[in-house]
A = this chain, B = another copy of it.
Amino acid sequence: MPSKYWSDFVQGLDPYVPGEQPKQQDLIKLNTNENPYPPSPKVVEVLNQDAVKLLRLYPDPSNSLLKTAIANYYNMDLGNVSVGNGSDEILAFAFQAFFKQRLPILFPDITYGFYTVYCGLFDIDYTQIPLADDFSIKLSDYQRENGGVIFANPNAPTGIGKSLQSIEVLLQSNTESVVIVDEAYVDFGAESAASLVGRYPNLLVVQTLSKSRSLAGSRVGFALGSTVLIEALEKVKNSFNPYSVDRLAEAAAVAAIDDVAYFEQCCAKIIKTRQWVSEQLESLGFEVLPSQANFVLIRPTSISAPELFTQLRQHNIVVRFFKKPRIDAYIRVTIGSDNEMIALVDALKEILLQRR
């Protein structure tokens, strides 16, 4: 119930609902797109007793070690990089910094659920552009007057990516507002727009270390963009919470980014597992959207999606079901380890067999 003590807008807020983090230990957790592999062994090395003792000191508010690691990886200048407490915080700052405009911003009707939440929080007008019938983003639909554009590449929860070429076509025509490409899942098979940052001053690329670098628990995200965009982002950040990336998170993130070999190896394993499980699911009669992410959106044909969700849970497997138009016939399954995927396929076989 609202209270006289609340600011008016609080009553209307419709917060984001994260995927469940069940406390039960023996579950196969395929509901929040976490990485099945632990972070780089280098992360374990840097988070030692000496690092813990230094927790009495504030982090470096400019996070220059982390920005340097990211700039080196993407061959950019420090001034093209901003970091934050997960890509969620970066996105929240970016919505404030760029999207409070006269015209509505544009994003897909089916995408990361937080975009509408930020619009509610910051009182930003938006128009949702329907995905094509095959669930792909049609970027030509975004070539209209707007206060900004944001889309995820690959998109969530579909997993379907856009080519760099099609993104560049949009950037060539859309020069008056900021275009944010949310690349939370890009390392699992899509191509980063980081390489376009030097050419398009209105492009902001947002990434996270939660998925491909196995650091969901550390909350580190970053943005790549022109100095003019990064400056605005940091003005908002430093007016909100300058120290949001803590000492251990920064140290872990630097170690994870610097260990390129481990990162590439984990991504390759997940891509291979995705291919295997996609084939298995198709042979079981599921529609499987072509994914470039660490999850697959699948449609069962002989059982409803919510019922499949419930039955999998009875097999101690947690997946994600979205009770939303267009995707409520699907469930989203995170790509886990090979053993977890074998257990998933076995459970599905059992569930489908019982329904014959």
Contacts and interface: CB of A to CB of B under 8 A. Distances in A.
Interface string A214-250: 1111110000000011001011111111111011110
B3 A55 contact: no
B232 A47 contact: no
Contact of A16 (B52, B60, B88, B239): B239
B120 A202 contact: no
Give the number of copies in the complex. 2
A57 B85 contact: no
A141 interface: no
Interface string A1-33: 101111111100111101001000000010010
A177 interface: yes
A53 interface: yes
B210 A18 contact: no
A241 B100 contact: no
Given A118-B240, A248-B249, 20 more contacts: A5-B178, A6-B97, A7-B96, A15-B237, A18-B243, A21-B59, A36-B56, A55-B216, A56-B214, A56-B217, A58-B217, A59-B219, A86-B241, A86-B243, A89-B240, A89-B244, A118-B239, A121-B236, A121-B239, A219-B243
Nearest to A14: B239
A189 interface: no
Contacts of A83: none
B39 A7 contact: no
A59 B217 contact: yes
A128 to B, nearest CB: 18
20 contacts: A4-B176, A5-B98, A5-B228, A7-B100, A15-B234, A16-B242, A34-B57, A36-B56, A39-B53, A55-B214, A55-B216, A58-B216, A85-B246, A88-B241, A89-B240, A92-B240, A92-B241, A118-B239, A121-B236, A218-B247
Interface of A: 1, 3-10, 13-16, 18, 21, 29, 32, 34-39, 43-44, 47, 49, 52-61, 85-86, 88-89, 92, 96-101, 117-118, 120-121, 176-178, 201-202, 210, 214-219, 228-229, 232, 234-244, 246-249, 252
A275 B51 CA distance: 31
Nearest to A234: B15
Contacts of A241: 85-86, 88-89, 92
Contacts of A229: 3, 5
Contact of A58 (B9, B34, B49, B52): B34
A182 to B, nearest CB: 15
A8 B241 CA distance: 20
Nearest to A4: B176
Nearest to A221: B241
Given A5-B228, A52-B43, A15 B238 contact: yes
Contacts of A92: 240-241
